Structure 1
C-alpha cells in the first residue's frame, strides 16, 4: 500500500512539474510567439558569450557583431559597424553606428569594441590567439576603432568581422579574470533585438526588445516572444511539427521529405535536396598507421566510396554528394578550380579503386578474400562514428560494404561520443567520419585550416587535422592564402591547395550535411526559401547572424 501511494505521489508531482513547465507557453499569446527547437541539447545554464556554446540565441539575439554575413550571396551587411576598411596593409579602421544603447540604457561606443579585444589580450579566453598577429586596438573617438596588426591574417579577419560578439565594457570590466569563462551571465545585457525573459528545464524564452536600434534600420522582428525548446527525440519533434506546436525545427528529421506536403511543412527547396548545405562530412585517415600513410591507398578510398548511395539511402535525397574539394557555398566556391577537379578529382569507381590498390601492392596474398599489405600482413581497419548518430552509423555501414566489394576489410564501429572524441583527439583510430571545422563560412581558409592545419604535434590534436597529415608545403600555402589580399594571387594559391589535397587525399569529402530547417505555417508564414531567399531560418549557436534575424523580421503571423 505504501509503495502504491509513493507511486501516486511521484506521478502527481511529475504531472504538476510538467504543467508548471507548460504554463509559461500557455500564457504567451500564440500569434505573437515563435516556437523553435533544434539548437539546445540540455537545460539552459549559461549565457556567457565568451565560451563557445552559450544558450543559443545569446549570440545575435542579445550580443551582436560588427557585420552580418550572407553565405548565399557572399555579402557582408554593416551591423553594429557603419563601415570598415583597410587603410593600409596593417591597419583596419572601423566606423560604428551612432545612437545605439545597451539594454540597460548605457550608450554603445568604440570603447566597448576596444574592450572586447583588449580583454583577450589581458586574459586567456578562446579568442586570445588573435593577439598573435594583432598589435593594438584603440578607440580613437567615440565611434571609431583602429586595429593595427603585426602580420595581418586577412582571411581570419573576414571571419572576425561577423563572428566576434561585442560585450559591454561597463559590465564585464567588473568580472574577475578567473571568472570570465565560468560566470553564467544570466540576464545578459546586450544591444540586440531580444532580451532574457525566462529559462526552464525544457526551454529558453526570449522577449522582443522594442527599443532595439535595428527596428529603424532593418525592420522590427515579428515575434514578440521566442520559445526555444530543449531537443527531444525525433519522434516527439516530428509529432509536434505535424500538429503545428513547433514553428521551426532545426533538427535532422529522417523522413521529413515524405510528409512535408501532407502537413504543409516548408523547407528551403521544394524538392531534393530540400535543405541548404551546412558543412562537409569527410573521412580523415590516420596517416600514423599503415596503410593510411600511403597516399595511393588513401586515394583509392576516394574512388571506393559511393556517396550517392549514402545520399539516397541514408538521407533520402536531403543532402548533396560532396564536391571532391570539399568546398561549397558562394564564399568557398569562388576559389574552386574546376580544371584541378577535372584533372585530380574522383568519383565512385570501384574498378579504378581496385587498380590503384593492385598497383600499390595491396593484393590478397593468402587467398582469404581480403587484401593484404605488400609485405603480406593482413589489413583490418576500423571506421568509427559516435553511437546514436544513426545517419552516420548507416553511412559507414555502406562504406564498409563498398570496401568489401573491392576486397578491403573495413569494420564499422560505434563508440560512445566521449570515446569517439578521445580517439579523435588522440589519434586512436584508423578512419572516422567528421564534420567539425568544415562549417559554411565566408572563406575557404576555414575549411583548409580545419582539415589540414599544422597543429599536429600535441597530445590532443583538436583543431581538425585529426589524421596528423604533415605537409609543410601545404601548410605554407594555407598560411599564404590567409595573409594575402591580392585576389589573383589568392586564386593561384587556392588552386595549388586543392591540387595537393586531391593528390595526397588526407581526408575524403563524402557529403555535405544539410542546414536542417523545417517550418510550419499554422501560426507563422512567409518563411524564406529558394524562391524568396531574404533570410536563413537557423537557430543554431553562432549562426543567427547568417540570416535568422532577417527571418524574424520577414515572417508574418497567420492571424
Structure 2
C-alpha cells in the first residue's frame, strides 16, 4: 500500500508539472527569466536563503534597505530612513501603510522579532550579530533602535539590505524545526509579487496589485514572472534568440558574435566587455602544504599567470582581468582602493620576474627534467582544481597550468566532480583551486576580505580562506576596518593599505579575473532594459540579489 501511495504521489507531481508547463500566460504580461534556478523549486524559506528559490527574498520577502551598486547608495525600502544617532546606536524609521500579503499591518514588532529570533535560535545564519548587538528597542510602531556593544559599521550596512524581515504573526507560531528547515510553501511577505505556483521546471510569481511600493517606486510591469529552470547554456542561448527567455543571467558563450547578428539581443555594454564585473575569481593556494607555504613561491606564481589571455580567449572578451587586490571596479569599493600598496608591492604578468623570484628563492631545475625542485632539492608538483562541467573555469586552469609550466613549475589541471571539488576545497585536500563564492559585489570590500581571509580557521572551511592562511595581524586589521565608520574614507583607506600590503607580500590567494554580471536580454517583448547608456538598475535576478537592482528593473521595463 505504501508503494502505491508513493507511486501515486509521483504521478501527481509529474501530472502537475506537465499541466503547468502547458499553461499559456498572456505573453505581453509575462516575463520569462533564467539563470538562478538550478534544481526543482522546493524551498521558500528566507531563514535558509542559500536553499530558497530565487525571488524568495526581494519579490516575496523584503529587506529594510536596497542597495544600488551603480551609485553606491542605500535605497530606503521597508525602512523610510536609517541613521547613526550615536557611535553605537542606529535608528530606523519604518514606512507607514505597508501590509503583509494577508493584509496584516507591518510594524516595528516584525523587525524586532526577525532579529531577536536569531538570538533565540543560534543556528540561524545571522545569529552571530548578537555577539556585537546588545538590544533592540521599539519606542513606537514605526521606530526601531539598535544598540550595539561594539558597532561593526561595514557588516551592519551589508546586513540591512540582506536580512529579510519576517511576519511575527506567522513565524512566532512555528517550531524550531519549521523555522530552520521548513519549506515555507505559499510564503507570505510584503513584496511586489505573490507566491502563485510552481512545477519541476519553473517558479511562477503573480504581481501583488496592493504592493505598498506602487505609490513609492511605481508598479512592476510584468503581471507574472515565470522563472525557468534551464540546465544548459546552449538551450538558454537558443531561448534568448527566439524570445522565449526575456532575461538570462547565465554565462552564454558566443554572445559577442551574436550581438553583431541579432539586434534583439541586449547586453549592458554594446561592445567588450559586454558585462558588468560582479565578482572575483580567486586562485586559492593551500598554505599548509610544502612548498606552497612559501610566500616567495606564491608571489612567483602570481607573476607567472596572465589572466588577460583567459579573459580574451575563454570568456571571449566578456570579462576583465582583476586588479592586484581583487577590488571590483565599482564606486563603493574603488573609493578605498589602496594605490600605494599596489604601486609598491603589486604584481602583473611578468614571466621574467617570476623566474627571477624562483631563482632567488632557491627553486631550480637540478635534475634537468624541465621542472624546478624545491629549495631542499625535493621534487614537487601542484594540481589546480575546478569542478567538472564548469567549462569556462576548466579551460582557464588549463591555461594557468601551461603558464606555470613555462616558468618551470610542474602544474596540472584537474577536474573532479563538484562534490569532490567541494570536499577537497573545504577540508584542505587541494593544492590550488579557483573559487568566487564570497567575492561578489557588495556595499564594502570588507565582505571580500572577511571571506578571502576568514579568521575562523577550522578543519572544514565552508566560507572562504580555503588555503587556511593564518595571520593574526591581518585578521585584526580586517576587524578594525569593520569597526571604522564607512564614511570615514581616509581612515578606512589607511587600514586597507595595510591589509593590501600583507596580501601582496604573502599572496595566499591570487585575484585573477572578474566574473561578469551575466546579463543578456531579448527586446522582442520587453524593452528599456538597463544598460551603460541607461544605468537605472543593476540587472540581476540571482537569489538574494533582487534587492540590489532586480526589482527596480521590473518597475522600469516597457513594452
Which interval holds the TM-score relative to the shorter structure?
over 0.9
Aligned to 1:117: 115
Inter-partner Cα distance in structure 1 for 2:431 and 2:128: 31
Q: Which of residues 19, 41, 44 in structure 1 aligns to 2:38?
A: 41
Question: What is the CA-CA distance between 1:290 and the residue it aligns to?
Answer: 1.1
Inter-partner Cα distance in structure 2 for 1:489 and 1:517: 36
Inter-partner Cα distance in structure 2 for 1:283 and 1:48: 33
Inter-partner Cα distance in structure 2 for 1:117 and 1:300: 46
Closer, same or farther in 2 for the Cα pair 1:232/1:218, shift >3 Å?
same
Q: Which of residues 42, 49, 56 in structure 2 aligns to 1:52?
A: 49
Inter-partner Cα distance in structure 1 for 2:361 and 2:437: 31
Question: What is the CA-CA distance between 1:179 and the residue it aligns to?
Answer: 2.0
Question: What is the CA-CA distance between 1:430 and the residue it aligns to?
Answer: 0.6
CA deviation profile, 1:491-513 (whole Å, cap 9, x unmatched): 11011111111111111100000
Aligned to 1:393: 394
Aligned to 1:312: 312
CA deviation profile, 1:285-339 (whole Å, cap 9, x unmatched): 0110011111111000110001010001100000010010100122111110222
Unmatched runs of 5 consecutive residues or more in structure 1: 1-12
Q: How many residues align?
A: 543
Aligned to 1:89: 87
Aligned to 1:283: 283
Please show how residues 243-258 of structure 1 align to structure 2 within 5 Å.
Answer: 243-258=242-257
Native 8 Å contact 1:276 1:514 kept in 2: yes
Please show how residues 45-194 of structure 1 align to structure 2 within 5 Å.
Answer: 45-53=42-50, 54-123=52-121, 124-194=123-193
Question: What is the CA-CA distance between 1:73 and the residue it aligns to?
Answer: 1.0
Aligned to 2:326: 326
1:432 is paired with a residue whose SS is strand
Inter-partner Cα distance in structure 1 for 2:196 and 2:336: 44
List structure 1 runs of 4+ shifted beyond 3 angstroms.
13-19
Aligned to 1:515: 517
Question: What is the CA-CA distance between 1:15 and the residue it aligns to?
Answer: 11
Closer, same or farther in 2 for the Cα pair 1:17/1:178, shift >3 Å?
closer
CA deviation profile, 1:504-559 (whole Å, cap 9, x unmatched): 111110000001010001100010000000112211001101111110011112xx
TM-score, length-normalised on structure 1? 0.95
1:163 is paired with a residue whose SS is coil
Please show how residues 186-225 of structure 1 align to structure 2 within 5 Å.
Answer: 186-225=185-224
Please show how residues 345-384 of structure 1 align to structure 2 within 5 Å.
Answer: 345-384=346-385
Inter-partner Cα distance in structure 2 for 1:487 and 1:240: 45
Inter-partner Cα distance in structure 2 for 1:233 and 1:444: 33
1:280 is paired with a residue whose SS is strand
Inter-partner Cα distance in structure 2 for 1:524 and 1:411: 46
Question: What is the CA-CA distance between 1:488 and the residue it aligns to?
Answer: 2.3
Inter-partner Cα distance in structure 2 for 1:296 and 1:190: 53
Aligned to 1:7: none
1:356 is paired with a residue whose SS is helix
Question: What is the CA-CA distance between 1:16 and the residue it aligns to?
Answer: 7.8
CA deviation profile, 1:228-254 (whole Å, cap 9, x unmatched): 001221121111111111000111111
1:342 is paired with a residue whose SS is helix
Inter-partner Cα distance in structure 1 for 2:185 and 2:293: 49
Unmatched runs of 5 consecutive residues or more in structure 2: 1-11
CA deviation profile, 1:350-398 (whole Å, cap 9, x unmatched): 0000000000000101111110011111111111001110000000000
1:72 is paired with a residue whose SS is coil
Question: What is the CA-CA distance between 1:22 and the residue it aligns to?
Answer: 2.4
1:346 is paired with a residue whose SS is coil
Inter-partner Cα distance in structure 1 for 2:17 and 2:439: 39
Native 8 Å contact 2:49 2:57 kept in 1: no
Question: What is the CA-CA distance between 1:45 and the residue it aligns to?
Answer: 0.2
Aligned to 1:31: 28
CA deviation profile, 1:380-421 (whole Å, cap 9, x unmatched): 111100111000000000001101111111110011111111
CA deviation profile, 1:242-297 (whole Å, cap 9, x unmatched): 11110001111111121123222000011011001110001110110011111111
Aligned to 1:539: 541
2:36 is paired with a residue whose SS is strand
Inter-partner Cα distance in structure 2 for 1:169 and 1:21: 33
Native 8 Å contact 1:39 1:231 kept in 2: no
Inter-partner Cα distance in structure 2 for 1:289 and 1:518: 42
Kindly report the root-mean-square deviation, in angstroms, between the aligned alpha carbons of the 2 structures. 1.5
2:299 is paired with a residue whose SS is helix
Inter-partner Cα distance in structure 1 for 2:186 and 2:437: 30
Aligned to 1:452: 453
Please show how residues 351-500 of structure 1 align to structure 2 within 5 Å.
Answer: 351-456=352-457, 458-485=458-485, 486-500=488-502
